[in-house]
A and B are shown apart, each in its own frame.
Chain A
Amino acid sequence: MKTTFAVSVIIIIIATFAFAQSTITPAINTLSPAERSIAEARKTIDRKPGQFAGYNQLAMALSRRARETSDVNFYMQAEDALKKSFELAPQNTDGEKIHIWLLLGRHEFAAARDAAVTLNKKVPDDVLVYGFLTDANAELGNYDEAEKAAQWMLDLRPGNLPGLTRAAYLRELFGDVDGAIDLMNMAYQSTPPTEVEDRAWILAQTGHLYLAHGKASDAESVLQQALAMFPGYHYALGNLGKVRISQGRYDDAVALLQQRYHAAPHAENLYELAEALELAGRSGEATKAFTEFESKSLLESARADNSNRELIFYYADHAHQPAKALDVARKEFGGRHDVYTLDAYAWALHVNGQNAEARKQIDAALSVGIRDAKMLRHAGEIALQLGDQASAQRYLQDSTALTFPGSKQARAMPASLTPTSPGR
């Protein structure tokens, strides 16, 4: 089970609640925040083994550890703890909340949304349930519903941390990256300094936002801060790797992405590593990594929790197997219509020469408001194939403006103003 923004953001809430209840002894202060929570939960269970609350606490703490380490085994342990909680108290509300969170973790977004709608009727003003509604709807591409739920979170309890981070994510999707950074900063200020992993997570997200805005040096500064705070943090390593790519320091990027893949051995992380290896000119290693990625990704392709988006781009851009790209893309598009899926679907259509339909999909993605360099480049190239030079130029210029001025990618961008053959 991997962590999307939606899934990882929920941990913040858990951490905040845990902080409020924390009774940490100096002896276990060297443990990570999640490890401390796990120890406390186990103590609670030892003291009161017949009460469900301890098992809920343990399930939440284990989930949090999963985010810290990216180790999926912790999610499985969390599910076991939740099972015990339900044995002791069927349908207890906190347990139901954790259940939805685990559904989100498994990327079963439609099921998560349905469960959240039901729970919302039972406890209509639970802020966290609105968080689940935001997450599930955002992942499905139901942005109006996601916005409504997130705005309600902020209205219901102004300044609440999970509301702020979700609002930041939506602002990014709606094209307001500056505003997203503002909210992430507000969230950072509200996070207790002892919650180092939470703070590092917020900094890693802020780094991503700076990067998305073409501000590589600001991104680097917050990402270094995150790594100093929580050494070896996989989210920060991944984003710092992208900063290095933007700076043309490909070998450094490879080193960081290798470190990240070692910490979080997920297929999509291997894909980014393979791309970096290719940029670094280490084609033998890149080919090996891409091949390994393909087998790994195919193994999970039928699951809801998969790396199909990367697989689509792999088939489209690296393996030159456009038909396979479109197969996978159609399957993904059948389940969700978020901007990233629409972009991948549009690109798969484009490499198969179906540019009119590709344009429809990429337009739908961009109409949400997102300003993403890669998406804009895709839109530009699709427009170019359709002979719409004016739109192509606009999209490609916008993409260039966001692709770290001065980088090799940015300099290469005007070259794409020449139409390319479909299925390159």
Chain B
Amino acid sequence: MLTVDGKLHGPGEKEAVIGTYGSTSRQRVTIRRSPFNALNEGPFRQIQREGNSLINELIIGTGFKDRFSMDDPKNDAQFAKFFLNPLLATVFSSLGIPVASPPRTDLLILAQYMPPICPGCGPKDAGPVADLMRLNTGIPPTPVHKQKRLGFLAGDLAGYPNGRRPIDDVVDISSRAVAGILVDPIKFGTRIGDGVNINVEGLNNSFPYVVPANSGRNSHHVGPGQEGCTGQPDGVCPVN
């Protein structure tokens, strides 16, 4: 078990919640080469990371995204201001979409240990702001046929942002969270989305679950209203 003490915990215990992230690194090109057996490239260096989906794309402001990519979550306090006042919320607002007012403490659940993902956590357990994918290992997985694409927002507690499953529509969930759906689902509940609500290829039952990408030559992007949502009731893509 990956929990802090290696044991199983119930959903209400703070020890049940883990935080993870993945990163990509490549060799560093150094201006000063090693003098002997001169090499252009030095040690590996992180160039990208991902904890919660789309944090860099939707929350971190322009001019700070590269720095975010190369840094570690433990240093994310420097980006706290973006969580509390994300640029995308300003963009939504300029488009006439109602958004919650800053400071956006509602978004801190993505970056700290706190309810509802960690119902057992008190204020002292929150930890520093850090983009980690939180997962409450005490919450049992939702059976595949009952999973909802909007995860937590649709009451499917085993879905994003409590971990991330292949079915979770992270673009729609994250966009709506940025607008403020967690503050007031009526007032700030605009159904923002990218219009891609289902995976036409479906998912496999075993790892890696997602099917290989379409051929770039023989396929084209399916937008809302095009083939892809056909076969759904009234040709409308499911919203939940």
Query: Taking beta carbons and an 8 Å cutoff, which residues of A are in contact with B?
Result: 93, 122-127, 147, 150-151, 154-159, 163-164, 167, 170-171, 174, 176, 178-179, 182-183, 186
Which listed residue, B29, B33, B67, touches A125 by the CB 8 Å rule?
B67
What's the nearest-Cβ distance from chain B to residue A147, in Å? 6
Whether A167 touches B31, Cβ cut-off 8 Å, given contacts A155-B70, A158-B26, A158-B47, is yes
Contact (Cβ within 8 A) B38 A178: yes
A10 to chain B, nearest CB (A): 18
The one of A125, A126, A151, A178 in contact with B31, judged by C-beta atoms closer than 8 angstroms, is A151
CA distance A158 to B46 in the complex (A): 10
What A residues does B64 contact at CB under 8 A? 123-125
List the B side residues contacting A147 at CB < 8 Å.
31-32
Residues of A within 8 A of B45 (CB): 155, 158
Known: A158-B26, A179-B38, A183-B40. A174 touches B32 (CB 8 A): yes
Cross-chain contact A183 with B66 (CB below 8 angstroms): no
- Write the nearest CB–CB distance from B91 to chain A, whole angstroms: 15
Q: Which 4 A-B pairs have the closest CB atoms?
A: A123-B63, A125-B67, A156-B66, A125-B66
A127-B66 in contact (CB<8A)? yes
Chain B hits for A93, CB < 8 A: 63
Q: B191 on the interface (CB 8 Å rule)?
A: no
Contact yes or no, B31 A150, CB < 8 A: yes
Quote the shortest CB–CB distance from A161 to chain B (angstroms): 12
Please name the residue on chain A nearest to B30 by beta carbon. Answer: A151
15 A-B residue pairings within 8 Å (CB atoms) = A123-B64, A125-B64, A125-B66, A126-B63, A150-B31, A155-B45, A155-B70, A157-B66, A164-B29, A167-B29, A170-B31, A171-B31, A176-B32, A176-B33, A179-B40
Contacts of A155 in B (CB 8 A): 28, 45, 70
Since A155-B70, A156-B66, A183-B40 are in contact, a sample of 13 more A-B pairs with Cβ atoms closer than 8 Å, ordered by chain A residue number, is: A93-B63, A123-B64, A124-B64, A125-B67, A150-B31, A151-B31, A155-B45, A157-B47, A158-B29, A158-B47, A171-B31, A174-B31, A176-B38
B residues within 8 Å of A by Cβ?
A: 26-33, 38, 40, 45, 47, 62-67, 70
Chain B residue nearest to A120 in the complex (CB): B63
CA distance A171 to B40 in the complex (A): 11
Chain A, residue nearest B64 (CB):
A125
| Total residue contacts A-B, CB cutoff 8 A | 61
With A178-B38, A179-B38, A182-B40 known as contacts, the answer to whether A154 contacts B28 (CB < 8 A) is yes
Chain B contacts of A158 at CB under 8 A? Answer: 26-29, 45, 47
Are A122 and B29 neighbours in the complex by a CB distance under 8 Å?
no
Nearest residue, chain A, Cβ from B60? A125
Q: Which residue of B lies closest to A125 (CB)?
A: B67
Q: Which residues of chain B are within 8 angstroms of A125 by Cβ–Cβ distance?
A: 63-67
Check B67–A156 contact: CB distance below 8 A: yes
Task: Report A-chain residues with C-beta under 8 Å of the C-beta of B63.
Answer: 93, 122-126
Q: How far is the CB of A190 from chain B (nearest CB, A)?
A: 12
Which of B29, B47, B65 is the one whose CB lies under 8 Å from A183? Answer: B29
With a cutoff of 8 Å between Cβ atoms, the chain A residues found around residue B47 in the complex are 157-158
A176 to B33, CA, bound (A): 8
Smallest CB–CB gap between A170 and chain B, Å? 5
* B33 touching A179, Cβ below 8 Å: yes
> Which of A155, A159, A171, A182 has the most CB atoms of chain B within a 10 A radius of its CB?
A155
Residues on the B chain within 8 Å of A176, using CB:
32-33, 38
The reply to whether B32 and A123 form a contact with Cβ atoms under 8 Å apart is: no
CB distance from B77 to the nearest CB of A (A): 15
In the complex, what residues of B have CB within 8 A of residue A186's CB? 29, 40
Residues of chain A contacted by B40 (CB below 8 angstroms): 179, 182-183, 186
Contacts of B27 in A (CB 8 A): 158
Would B70 and A156 count as touching, CB distance under 8 A? yes
Inside 8 A of B28's CB, which chain A residues have their CB?
154-155, 158
Nearest-CB residue, chain B, relative to A163? B29
Contacts of B29 in A (CB 8 A): 154, 158-159, 163-164, 167, 183, 186
Among B30, B31, B40, B63, the most chain A Cβ lie within 10 Å of the Cβ of B31
Question: Which residues from chain B contact A167 at a C-beta distance below 8 Å?
Answer: 29, 31
Interchain CA distance A369-B115 in the complex, whole Å: 59
Give every chain A residue within 8 A of B32 (Cβ-Cβ): 147, 174, 176
**Contact partners of B30 in chain A: CB under 8 A:** 151, 154
CA distance A159 to B214 in the complex (A): 28
Closest Cβ of chain A: how far from B75's Cβ, in Å?
Answer: 13
The residue on B at minimum CB distance from A159 is B29
What chain A residues lie within 8 Å of B26 (beta carbons)? 158-159
Query: Closest CB-CB distance, B40 to chain A, in whole Å?
Result: 5
